[in-house]
């Protein structure tokens, strides 16, 4: 088999590359190779609406099967690529098939980071990345009496929210001294900690897990102080590892992701990479980074498609994300850091407020809880290097639209 473009990875990024190529009238042959049996689907709902049973799987599929058929995109599903031969322009699957390519797009995302401790691979210890993961969690949660969630990031908090709403007893363990410590400032962390505790989550901070107890199935989680917390199900949400081993073995530079330029090109002119597995430059933020977000995957996919078509349009996007927990919709844009000043607009007690992060006066990030206007209007402000007045930001008597308009002049 040979295709003009072979896309390895059937997630948001990989699917979007194919969509954008066909949208722009690319007439060459396209194949998407995915190691899951399903057509491309949304991953964020796996720890939210799909896990909660609020959305059927069909509703989170990105495109129906007829879309690919009508646009002549060959779907090679349930096949795992096990090697890349860049000199011969081909990849090999776990079934021994070789697939030749003109251009190769690596869009493999990542896999859950699991705990390298005794019992970390016991049945009942579950990561969250695929439909199969979510299905296994849903099935186990139906009969579980107590569930331990390890990790106070978005995946862990979202899973805890779904389980708590379902009436389950949940213990959430975080190694650091606050939840969301790697991505948000203290005001937001404390708000979410209180929210989960008010809902009945046994939230423990600054704790270290040393082992998972059990025989044929998990029975508990052992902490460094010797306490064993009973558990019928353990959900691990401590981040992902980018899937870069095969490209690294093929000689492509990797550094917390596949190193690409602003056009999504690797060091090999015929291999591009997009999404969670890439380490890419962002001119608006002035640094290289690896992002785990749908928005980044989709936008990089557009850039990669342009590059394949010979239109060099540099990737330059302000990243944004979202998280649903209980009746709280968190939308955030930009990148925050621990040393940035935080200005809170609105009263957290009202459950509708925004936290603005300033880097030496320049707006760097905005976290908006049930405040969509602050989120939407802040995208351009961050991209434009806005320097808002702190007192004006806090003044709820001044509509935020007026503030944004004055900064945009």
Q: Of 211, 236, 261, which residue is a domain's last?
A: 236
In a domain, 118, yes or no: yes
Kindly state whether residues 27 and 58 are assigned to the same domain: yes
Kindly state whether residues 105 and 26 are assigned to the same domain: yes
Q: Are 293 and 319 in contact (CB under 8 A)?
A: yes
| Category of 70 on φ-ψ map: left (φ > 0), alpha (ψ -120 to 50) or beta | alpha
CATH number of the domain enclosing 64: 3.50.50.60
| CA atoms within 13 Å, Cβ hemisphere of 3 | 22
Kindly state whether residues 262 and 213 are assigned to the same domain: no
In a domain, 371, yes or no: yes
Q: Are 283 and 318 in contact (CB under 8 A)?
A: no
Kindly state whether residues 107 and 252 are assigned to the same domain: yes
First-residue to last-residue Cα distance in the chain: 55
Interval 187-198 mean pLDDT: 94
Q: What is the CA radius of gyration of the chain?
A: 22
What's residue 384's pLDDT?
87
Kindly state whether residues 249 and 221 are assigned to the same domain: no
Kindly state whether residues 151 and 192 are assigned to the same domain: yes
Kindly state whether residues 203 and 278 are assigned to the same domain: no
Q: Is the pLDDT of residue 193 over 90?
A: yes
Kindly state whether residues 90 and 178 are assigned to the same domain: no
pLDDT digits (tens, 9 = 90+) for 34-51: 999 999 999 989 988 999
Q: How many domains does the chain have?
A: 3
Q: Mean of the per-residue pLDDT values for the chain?
A: 93
Kindly state whether residues 250 and 276 are assigned to the same domain: yes
What is the pTM assigned to this prediction? 0.92
What's residue 409's pLDDT?
53
Q: Which structural domain range is residue 398 located in?
A: 327-408
Kindly state whether residues 101 and 121 are assigned to the same domain: no
Kindly state whether residues 100 and 169 are assigned to the same domain: no
Kindly state whether residues 232 and 119 are assigned to the same domain: yes
pLDDT digits (tens, 9 = 90+) for 81-128: 999 999 999 999 999 999 999 999 999 999 999 999 999 999 999 999
User: 103 pairs with which residues across the strands?
Assistant: 5
CATH number of the domain enclosing 372: 3.30.390.30
**How many degrees, rounded to 5, is the angle at CA 9 between CA 8 and CA 12?**
135
In a domain, 134, yes or no: yes
């Amino acid at each position: 088999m040979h295709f003009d473009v072979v896309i390895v990875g059937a997630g948001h990024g990989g699917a979007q590359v194919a969509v954008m190529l066909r949208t722009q009238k690319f007439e060459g042959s396209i194949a998407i190779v995915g190691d899951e049996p399903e057509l491309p689907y949304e991953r964020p709902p796996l720890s939210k609406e799909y896990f909660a049973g609020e959305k059927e799987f069909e509703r989170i599929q990105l495109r129906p099967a007829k879309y690919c058929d009508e646009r002549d995109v060959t779907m090679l599903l349930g096949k795992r690529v096990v090697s890349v031969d860049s000199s011969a322009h081909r990849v090999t699957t776990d079934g021994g098939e070789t697939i030749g390519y003109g251009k190769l797009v690596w869009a493999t995302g990542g896999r859950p980071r699991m705990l390298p401790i005794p019992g970390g691979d016991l049945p009942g210890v579950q990561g969250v990345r695929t439909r199969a993961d979510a299905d296994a969690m849903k099935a186990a949660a139906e009969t579980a009496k107590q569930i331990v969630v390890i990790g106070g990031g978005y995946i862990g908090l979202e899973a805890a929210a779904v389980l708590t709403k379902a009436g389950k007893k949940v213990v959430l363990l975080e190694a650091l001294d606050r939840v969301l410590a790697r991505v948000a400032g203290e005001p937001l962390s404390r708000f979410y900690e209180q929210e989960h505790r008010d809902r009945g989550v046994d939230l423990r901070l600054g704790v270290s897990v040393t082992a998972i107890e059990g025989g044929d199935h998990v029975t508990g989680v052992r902490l460094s102080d010797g306490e064993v917390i009973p558990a019928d199900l353990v959900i691990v949400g401590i981040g992902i590892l980018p899937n870069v081993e095969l490209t690294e073995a093929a000689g492509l530079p990797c550094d917390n992701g596949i190193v690409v330029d602003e056009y999504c090109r690797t060091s090999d002119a015929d291999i591009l990479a997009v999404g969670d597995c890439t380490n890419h430059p962002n001119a608006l933020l002035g640094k290289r980074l690896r992002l785990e977000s749908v928005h980044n995957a989709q936008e990089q996919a557009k850039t990669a498609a342009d590059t394949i078509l010979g239109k060099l349009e540099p990737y330059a996007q302000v990243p944004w994300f979202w998280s649903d927990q209980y009746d709280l919709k968190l939308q955030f844009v930009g990148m925050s850091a621990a040393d940035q000043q935080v200005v809170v607009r609105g009263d957290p007690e009202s459950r509708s407020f925004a936290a603005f992060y300033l880097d030496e006066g320049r707006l760097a990030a905005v976290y908006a809880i049930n405040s969509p206007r602050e989120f939407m209007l802040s995208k351009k402000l961050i991209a434009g290097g806005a320097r808002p007045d702190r007192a004006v930001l806090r003044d709820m008597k001044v509509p935020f639209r007026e503030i944004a308009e004055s900064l945009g002049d």
